[in-house]
Amino acid sequence: MNLKRVVVTGLGALTPVGNSASETWENLLAGVSGAGPITRFDSSLFKTHFACEVKDFTPNDLLDRKDARRMDRFTQFGMVVADEAIADSGLDFEKENVDRIGVIWGSGIGGIDSFYDQVKGYVESGFIPRFNPFLIPMMISDITPGRISMKHGLRGPNYTTVSACASSTNALIDSFNLIRLGKADVIVTGGSEAAINPVGMGGFNAMNALSTRNDDPKTASRPFDADRDGFVMGEGGAGIVLEEYEHAKARGAKIYAEMAGGGLSADAHHLTAPHPDGLGAKNVMLFALEDANMTPEDIDYINVHGTSTPLGDIAETKAIKQVFGEHAYNINISSTKSMTGHLLGAAGAIEAMAVIMSIYTDTIPPTINHFTDDENLDSKLNLTFHSAQGREVRAALSNTFGFGGHNASVLFKKAE
């Protein structure tokens, strides 16, 4: 079958380190940490008192006031980043066949903020059932692409993918496949998440998944460091416009990179822990390479899942060495979660954007907060510690792995 080519023509972001795609990229290259004390609720009784929050976000400045009140925070984030990505793409929907333009989004948790607020109000009222009539549309995970489509009149494929921390990477892969199969011309894709509240923090604290480095939040996310003690919760989102190459070329669009492949696999091992030998991670990278018809030697950069957990970081580097062999030592590897924290279902979209920009600018964002080498990791791997590195980036991978053993990897390359 003659598959169509798929390119990236628009980017948008709202993250703990920037309120736009350009600001986020600049701060990633500068090694800026987005971590700080939690401001959204009183965390004094929790084991973790910090997170990577979005800063200076006022939804009424960016969205219709009435609409914003009827959206959960994760949808507000999604609307803003989708608008930025669409504007960046230069698409004029009045000139397009909107039946062939879709929205596919990723969110692992959805409207947990709205759910928590309404249940809390119900209990505090003495169990009087006075619920917001918009509660269900605010909390369901699929509402964000629905709202994006309504705002812009887009009538193509429309849904949300849910696979924990791999959610928005799955959204990218689904979008990619629909376009290359000729089912759509353009898809606005990405992901958003907003789980920094008592339920989100409390749940992950109960699992001992979060860092408790309360004395030094900015250095708490320490991928590959011997003293890493868990991930730092993040929030925000990213939007990416994927477009069929000839369609983009015909309208003179700016092209950041070409999406060349995607891989999906399962660990089939444990609810929350990775396969100790990185089996699922190995398979998903091999599948992405095969899908793109590329070899390990074609890859110059990997943005790893790299959450800063004791088991996960080791398993992923084992997988990289199995897939890439001696070439693993020629690849730049970095975890931008060291700066943004872990955006859960939105992580894949943020990190795909970082990979796309690394290809577009020939620059690798760093892994910050490295202080002590871990003897269980191969010291010869280039984990891009401390500062950004310039190099030609012909092709790059972005890995995301979710609770339940869900693995997804996307491969981008320079557009010819």
Q: Helix-strand-coil percent breakdown of the chain, rounded to 5?
A: 40, 20, 40
How far apart CA 48 and CA 374 sit, in angstroms, is 24
How far apart CA 336 and CA 314 sit, in angstroms, is 17
Catalytic-role residue among 49, 247, 275, 305: 305
Do 129 and 312 meet the contact criterion of CB atoms below 8 Å apart? no
Residue 305 annotated in active site: yes
Tokens found for residue 339:
């700066």
Q: What are the two backbone dihedrals, phi and then psi, of residue 399, each rounded to the nearest 5 degrees?
A: -105, 140
Residue 165 annotated in active site: yes
Tokens found for residue 337:
């979660």
Question: In a 3-state reduction of DSSP, which class is residue 200?
Answer: helix
Residue type, 202: G
Catalytic-role residue among 49, 52, 165, 275: 165
How big is the chain, counted in residues? 416
Question: For 128-166, b where at least 16 C-beta lie within 10 A, e where not — what string?
Answer: eeeeeeebebbbbbbbbbbbbbebbebebbbebbbbbbb
Q: What are the two backbone dihedrals, phi and then psi, of residue 60, each rounded to the nearest 5 degrees?
A: -70, -20
* Residues ≥6 apart with Cβ < 8 Å to 266: 280, 405, 406, 407
Catalytic-role residue among 49, 247, 275, 342: 342
Tokens found for residue 281:
């991670």
Q: Helices 143-152 and 73-89 sit at what angle, rounded to 10 degrees? A: 40
Question: For 182-201, b where at least 16 C-beta lie within 10 A, e where not — what string?
Answer: eebbbbbbbbbbbbbbbebb
Residue in 56, 142, 148 with CA at minimum distance from that of residue 345: 142
Do 80 and 14 meet the contact criterion of CB atoms below 8 Å apart? yes
Question: In a 3-state reduction of DSSP, which class is residue 326?
Answer: helix
By annotation, the residues acting in catalysis are 165, 305, 342
